[in-house]
Amino acid sequence: MAQYSRVSGNVGLITLQNPPVNALSAAVRQGIVDTVKRALGDPEVKSVVICGQNGVFCGGADIREFGTHMTGPPLVPMIHAIEMADKPVVAAIEGVALGGGLELALGCHYRIAHTKAKVGLPEVTLGLLPAAGGTQRLPRLTGLPAAIALITTGRQITTAEALKLSIVDQVTDYSAVDTAVKFAKSVAERSLDGRRVSERPCPCPPDVDALFEAAMQKVRQSARGAIAPVACVQALQAAATMPYALGMQREKELMATLFTSGQARALQYSFFAQRAVGRWSLPSGARWDGSKPRPIRKTAVIGLGTMGRGITVSLAQAGLSVIAVEAQEKPLKEAQQAISGMLQRGAKRRGGAPPLDLITYSANLQAVADVDLVIEAVFEDVALKKQLFQHLSAICKPEAFLCTNTSALDIDLLASQSRHPELVVGMHFFAPAHVMKLLEVVHGSRSSPEAVATAMNLGKQMGKVGVAVGNCHGFVGNRMLKPYLEQGLFLLEEGATPEMVDGALEEFGFAMGLFRMSDLSGIDVGWRVRKGEGLVQPGASVRVRQGRRYSPLGDLLYEQGRFGQKTGRGWYRYDNRHEAKPDPWLNNFLEDYRARHGLAARRIECQEVLERCLYTLINEGFRILEEGIAAGPEDIDVIYVLGYGWPKHRGGPMYYASMVGLIKVLERLEHYLRAHPDVPSLQPCSLLRRLVASGSPPIHKWRKIIKKTQSHL
Ligand SMILES: CC/C=C\CC(=O)SCCNC(=O)CCNC(=O)[C@H](O)C(C)(C)COP(=O)(O)OP(=O)(O)OC[C@H]1O[C@@H](n2cnc3c(N)ncnc32)[C@H](O)[C@@H]1OP(=O)(O)O
């Protein structure tokens, strides 16, 4: 778990060994204690280098140990012993030095890093804070502003940036280990005065109080309800105002408030869930480890609207050649300018040159004849997409994958237009497609495992988190959104206002409530979806459609030309494009509407808003699991956290249901169904009932119960 050797005559080399990221498990920490003791006790050894196996320094504490009974030596005294050593200890950073891994390096006297390595203190993303001295040592090297920015965001930085911030002392294009060994020899006799970071003062700017006030305001605003970012700021305040030892005590106290918190557990669940979805399986039995993806080199994107442009940018940034096709010359030119701008701005942020030369623009579909994979992102019209698939099937080489970015249409219907339906698969990106990490990979009944594996692999190449989902209307995310939005409208009919509903949801942790989100995406977009579903009857305001309660409020706003932000009026009023203000017009409109339909407005509590909106969404999630559209609760939770703004520190809708208690979710759904028997989405799903009847098992056991249920279907 930590290997010791003597190299270059008198350098003690300690190599962390815990693949794949040399996480600081109990055994690794014990290994470090033993090998450091051995190196410092070896009279032949004049200096020490610590590195990681397989070109990775260390990915931090072993997250798999969290929530278990922690054994082995703690990090803080271990790192302190290294720092207080009387021989120089040099960290050789390759790959990553993250969390406790970077804190280990900060306890060393020098840090030599490879130019391609990344460093960071991502603990806040796991609901924690750097509790192995990171909040006290980092600001002593970088100063408070940089330390606040890095610790409250958990951002990883390049070693070039780390060099500028004095986090590392040297970067190299060569082996960081060899460089560190040479460096260690060169400093063997050098005094260690000034090399012990904890002994340095913490530089404080004159406006330190204002700095922390601004930092606290920023974290409270951006991380709505998350407690770890606040604790990070408090720990950094200790570094600025207390001696090191007291600051360490404060860091320990603050960590104690986080370590066992529900938010930390939820974030750690999310961390592993985002990795579990890569180990996908389909109802057919096809699995990630039994399906070989085909390498993709040449791609094409058909349709260069907002989504097509984002997909093109994402493909080019992943290093893939793209033929970008738009039927008309004018929009093609506009798209080319927009895409070039997006790539140039991206290059400024990411460093390097914009990959403009990877993209070829064409108005001729024949241009895609030789590509390996096509993603169509044309207008969401089934006839148009069907025709396009027919053309692509005739033009493209027989082995080309044909993918659709449709957000809800039937993959099987589109696949039936192709000569090779087994090579058709959905790749549902989320706007803005070059930013959002979520990708729903939708398998039709004839999609081959190779097609699914190829789409999932391409998504990974594009930096996406791919989730393999089944083919149904709305797939997973949009399907669950429907009852959520529906309840919001019903609540307006019953007396709520958009700001009241949104306030409750934003207090829960959503960055944007459902009405503000509707105004952003466009009330006209929602109207077109409902029209496609045969729910829109222009001019009618009857409140029953297809035998169930229906609210025409969105249709009526559409008919008034109130599309949301894009028209300056929607559920809110927008004097400037992005600032949503309650609109007196809407309140009058709702009063008239209720009067017209004999609806008596009543006082509605926030708890009811949350229960009706979230539990119907969760209930649809159980239906999706029961039907095998998603393989497990983790798939749904990853989709909602990454694609729909579900607050990260609440793990995801299904995780939240397991925390609230399935029996409570069931009881509340039954309560609301009794009050609203004409709303089928309130009917508790039979899988939910089965889970409750099985004693509400923990979420990691649901898959077994679902499989057992399906095996009897
Ligand atoms: C007193 C407490 C002091 C300090 C607290 C901490 O240090 S908390 C942990 C801080 N570290 C992190 O948050 C890093 C988390 N990991 C990552 O960011 C990425 O895994 C990493 C290291 C950048 C590598 O990314 P990559 O995409 O290459 O691989 P992937 O993420 O799929 O991970 C590969 C497998 O390794 C597992 N893993 C990664 N990091 C940890 C970890 N810190 N502890 C335990 N396991 C870790 C990950 O789950 C993957 O496992 P697999 O079974 O293959 O899915």
CATH topology match: 496-593 vs 606-705: yes
What is the architecture of the domain spanning 496-593? Orthogonal Bundle (1.10)
Taking only the tens place, the pLDDT of each residue in 182-234 is: 999 999 999 999 999 999 999 998 999 999 999 999 999 887 889 999 999 99
pLDDT band at 711; cut points 50, 70, 90? low
Q: What is the pLDDT of residue 299?
A: 98
What CATH number has the domain spanning 298-475?
3.40.50.720
Q: What is the pLDDT of residue 443?
A: 97
Q: What is the pLDDT of residue 540?
A: 63
Tokens of 417: 């237009």
Distance 56 CA to ligand 1 centre (A): 11
Q: Is the CB of 120 under 6 A from ligand 1?
A: no
Distance 59 CA to ligand 1 centre (A): 5
Which residues neighbour 88 within 8 Å (Cβ) at sequence distance 6 or greater? 47, 48, 109, 110, 184, 187, 188, 190, 192, 195
Q: Give the mean pLDDT of 70-89.
A: 96
Q: What is the ipTM of this complex?
A: 0.97
Tokens of 617: 């969404």
- Residue ranges of domains in the chain: 2-259, 298-475, 496-593, 606-705
* pLDDT > 90 fraction of the chain, expressed in percent and rounded: 90
The correct CATH number of 606-705 out of 1.10.10.60, 3.50.50.60, 1.10.1040.10, 3.40.50.80 is: 1.10.1040.10
The answer to whether the beta carbons of residues 313 and 346 sit under 8 Å apart is yes
Kindly report the number of other CB atoms within 10 A of residue 232's CB atom.
31
Q: What is the pLDDT of residue 532?
A: 83
pLDDT band at 418; cut points 50, 70, 90? very high
> What one-letter code names the amino acid at 685?
C
Which ligand 1 atom sits nearest the alpha carbon of residue 255? 1
Q: Is the CB of 228 under 6 A from ligand 1?
A: no
Fill in the DSSP letter of residue 439: E
Q: Is the CB of 275 under 6 A from ligand 1?
A: yes
Nearest CA to ligand 1 atom 51: 275
Q: What is the pLDDT of residue 648?
A: 94
* pLDDT > 70 fraction of the chain, expressed in percent and rounded: 99
Q: What is the pLDDT of residue 713?
A: 47
Taking only the tens place, the pLDDT of each residue in 92-117 is: 999 999 999 999 999 999 999 999 99
Per-residue pLDDT for 158 more than 50?
yes
The model's pTM is 0.94
Query: Hey, which of 28, 63, 124, 257 would you mutate to test ligand 1's pocket, going by the most ligand atoms within 8 Å of its Cβ?
Result: 63
Q: Is the CB of 61 under 6 A from ligand 1?
A: yes
Per-residue pLDDT for 554 more than 90?
yes
Cα torsion 68, 72, 77, 82 to 10°: value is -130
Q: Which of 289, 436, 422, 302 is nearest to 365 (CA)?
A: 302
Q: Is the CB of 104 under 6 A from ligand 1?
A: no
Q: What is the pLDDT of residue 68?
A: 82
Tokens of 379: 């207008």
pLDDT band at 708; cut points 50, 70, 90? confident
Mean pLDDT, the chain, rounded, equals 95
Taking only the tens place, the pLDDT of each residue in 256-269 is: 999 989 999 999 99
Distance 161 CA to ligand 1 centre (A): 22
Cα separation of 120 and 108, whole Å? Answer: 16
Query: Hey, which of 21, 80, 102 would you mutate to test ligand 1's pocket, going by the most ligand atoms within 8 Å of its Cβ?
Result: 21
Q: What is the pLDDT of residue 283?
A: 87
Q: Is the CB of 277 under 6 A from ligand 1?
A: no
Q: Give the mean pLDDT of 515-519.
A: 95
Homologous superfamily in CATH for domain 2-259: 2-enoyl-CoA Hydratase; Chain A, domain 1 (3.90.226.10)
Taking only the tens place, the pLDDT of each residue in 355-400 is: 999 999 999 999 999 999 999 999 988 999 999 999 999 999 999 9
Partner residues linked to 300 by β-bridges: 323, 374
Cα separation of 89 and 208, whole Å? Answer: 33
Catalytic residues: 103, 123
Q: What is the pLDDT of residue 712?
A: 56
Tokens of 93: 């950073």
Taking only the tens place, the pLDDT of each residue in 449-479 is: 999 999 999 999 999 999 999 999 999 999 9
Distance 74 CA to ligand 1 centre (A): 19
Higher pLDDT, residue 535 or 634? 634
Q: Give the mean pLDDT of 126-150.
A: 98
Taking only the tens place, the pLDDT of each residue in 3-24 is: 999 999 899 999 999 999 999 9
